[in-house]
Amino acid sequence: MLTDIDTSWLISCKAAWKINEGLPHAIEAAMAKARTSDAYKRVTKLGHQSVGSVSLMEDHDILLYSKRAKAAELTLGNADFHREVLAQELVL
């Protein structure tokens, strides 16, 4: 889980740096979005598995993170969408 979080953070920082510097950033942004989308889903799934049935209670934070992961996937696009964007950028 830590590897997923750290690699998502690192690739997101690289994309943010390129955006901030005004450099071409479409490829890095698409890679960061795809990686983070996959990692978010994987980490919340493992979080549910690690705490068991307690994670289904409304008072537990892991349920909030799972809902946020799904909402982000629906509003910002899932990993497959961003991989398609990445593929189009690489072809151009």
- Give me the pLDDT at residue 59, please: 78
- Give me the pLDDT at residue 55, please: 67
Q: Where are the domains of the chain?
A: 2-91
- Give me the pLDDT at residue 12, please: 95
**pTM of the full structure:** 0.78
Domain 2-91 has CATH 1.10.287.3510: no
Which tokens hold the place of 54?
Answer: 């307690």
Per-residue pLDDT of the chain (92 residues; tens, 9 = 90+): 999 999 999 999 999 999 999 999 999 999 999 999 899 889 988 988 888 777 677 777 888 888 888 888 888 888 889 999 999 988 87
Question: Cα(10)–Cα(61) distance, rounded to whole angstroms?
Answer: 24
Angle, alpha carbons 68-84-17 (nearest 5°): 65
